[in-house]
């Protein structure tokens, strides 16, 4: 039985957890694999775990500060001695109890600390890194001491090389998406490319929710042909605010939800998705074949995603809420010709088996090393 330990996070957005879940699903289909996921911040102790919630606060309320920190720390080899020290005791206890044959990191904060801990503790456990960003790869994703780093795109591969990664330790496979998205798309009927009316719009703020949803909702509801579903994620305060402020005359064409488990079905049920350009949201939209309008806040780690969406014609970018209705009307012109083109581009890009291929590749690493 191969034992695989995955280091993830549940407090710094939902992306790391989604990637972890997609891999766990594949490992569970392998009869000779026992996979276990651990929150890296929890492993670092109570202070680190509670401090990790700052990510959501910064990205929602102070994206400029988050972007500044991202830029300052990129292309710099920060010292991880403190993180290594904080994780040491719990990490060694975990290794003794679980005895992993392989460790996978899906969070850049722990990549260097993991290899430091293994080296200084005299252990011999291979480490695989699965990058959780599509294009804008931060230097902390690039640890030459890791045995292999899985890149989601050729762009990520090239940036990783610029950060000093040896080519032989990089493997381009793709971005892993949870199995339920692939299953839902395979089971769905072929959608018509004709202009829908009324237009069904899905407005999302990610797992953490976003204050900008209220601004977009107000503008979208000025168009009487729009039926709107709003996903607030874990932002309960935003959910309650929106529920109170939606006008009575709009309530019949608005659905406001918190954190949900069937987002793949919501994507299938709508014609356009409006969301921040996170790698998970963008790849899930491609999987489900829903044209996506990418909005802010424009985080540095996601800027490459917006460029990728436009270059590959799998989505369009909205730089200001006041542009949203114009963009939607442009997509709907000529009987929805732009929507048709986006869906066709998504069809060409769609791959169902990235998570399976990554799981198989890293499992083979146990035998190769």
Query: pLDDT tens digit string along 255-266?
Result: 999 888 899 999
What is the number of alpha carbons within 13 Å of residue 121 lying toward its C-beta? 20
Global confidence as pTM: 0.90
Provide the pLDDT for residue 106.
Answer: 94
Handedness of CA 184, 190, 192, 197 (dihedral sign): negative
Provide the pLDDT for residue 283.
Answer: 96
Provide the pLDDT for residue 184.
Answer: 93
Within 8 A by CB and 6+ apart from 10, the residues are 16, 17, 39
Q: Residue 44 above 80 pLDDT?
A: no
Provide the pLDDT for residue 349.
Answer: 94
Provide the pLDDT for residue 212.
Answer: 78
Provide the pLDDT for residue 10.
Answer: 78
Provide the pLDDT for residue 111.
Answer: 87
Q: Residue 63 above 80 pLDDT?
A: yes
Query: Tens digit of pLDDT for each residue in 190-224?
Result: 555 566 678 999 999 754 546 578 889 999 999 99
CB distance 111 to 138 below 8 Å? no
In order of their start, the domains of the chain are 2-174+353-368 (3.40.50.2000), 180-349 (3.40.50.2000)
User: Would you list the DSSP string of 52-68?
Assistant: TTHHHHHHHH-HHHHHH
The region of weakest confidence among 44-48, 131-135, 144-148 is 44-48
Query: Tens digit of pLDDT for each residue in 109-145?
Result: 888 888 988 988 898 999 999 999 999 999 999 999 9
Provide the pLDDT for residue 51.
Answer: 63
Query: Tens digit of pLDDT for each residue in 303-316?
Result: 999 999 999 999 99
Within 8 A by CB and 6+ apart from 252, the residues are none
User: Would you list the DSSP string of 232-269?
Assistant: -TT-HHHHHHHHHHS-GGGGGGEEEE-S-S-HHHHHHH
Query: Tens digit of pLDDT for each residue in 269-298?
Result: 999 999 999 999 999 999 999 999 999 878
The region of weakest confidence among 89-98, 181-190, 193-202, 353-362 is 193-202
């Amino acid at each position: 039985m191969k034992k695989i330990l995955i280091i993830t996070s549940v407090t710094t957005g939902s992306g790391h957890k989604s990637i972890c879940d997609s891999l766990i699903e594949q490992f569970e289909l392998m009869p000779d694999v026992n996979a276990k996921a651990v929150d890296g911040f929890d492993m670092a102790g109570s202070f680190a775990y509670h401090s990790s919630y700052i990510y959501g606060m910064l990205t929602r309320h102070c994206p400029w500060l988050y972007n500044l920190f991202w830029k300052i720390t990129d292309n710099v080899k920060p010292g991880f001695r403190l993180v290594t020290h904080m994780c040491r005791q719990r990490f060694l206890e975990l290794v003794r109890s679980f005895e992993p044959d392989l460790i996978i990191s899906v969070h850049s904060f722990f990549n260097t600390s993991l290899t430091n801990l293994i080296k200084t503790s005299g252990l011999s456990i291979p480490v695989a890194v699965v990058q959780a960003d599509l294009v804008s790869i931060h230097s902390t994703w690039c640890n030459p001491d890791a045995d292999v780093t899985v890149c989601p795109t050729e762009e990520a591969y090239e940036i990783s090389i610029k950060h000093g990664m040896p080519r032989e330790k990089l493997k381009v496979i793709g971005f892993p998406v949870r199995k339920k998205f692939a299953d839902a798309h395979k089971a769905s009927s072929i959608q018509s490319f004709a202009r829908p009316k009324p237009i069904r719009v899905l407005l999302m703020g990610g797992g953490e929710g976003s204050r900008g949803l209220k601004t977009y909702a107000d503008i979208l509801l000025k168009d009487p042909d729009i039926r709107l579903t709003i996903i607030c994620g874990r932002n309960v305060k935003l959910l309650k605010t929106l529920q109170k402020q939606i006008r009575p005359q709009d309530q019949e064409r608005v659905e406001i939800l918190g954190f949900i488990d069937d987002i793949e079905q919501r994507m299938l049920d709508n014609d356009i998705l409006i969301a921040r350009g996170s790698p998970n949201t963008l790849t899930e939209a491609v999987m489900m074949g829903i044209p996506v309008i990418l909005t802010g806040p424009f985080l540095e780690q996601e800027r490459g995603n917006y460029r990728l969406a436009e270059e590959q014609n799998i989505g369009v970018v909205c730089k200001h809420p006041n542009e949203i209705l114009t963009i939607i009307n442009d997509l709907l012109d000529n009987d929805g010709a732009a929507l048709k083109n986006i869906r066709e581009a998504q069809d060409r890009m769609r791959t169902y088996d990235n998570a399976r291929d990554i799981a198989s590749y890293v499992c083979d690493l146990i035998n190769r090393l």
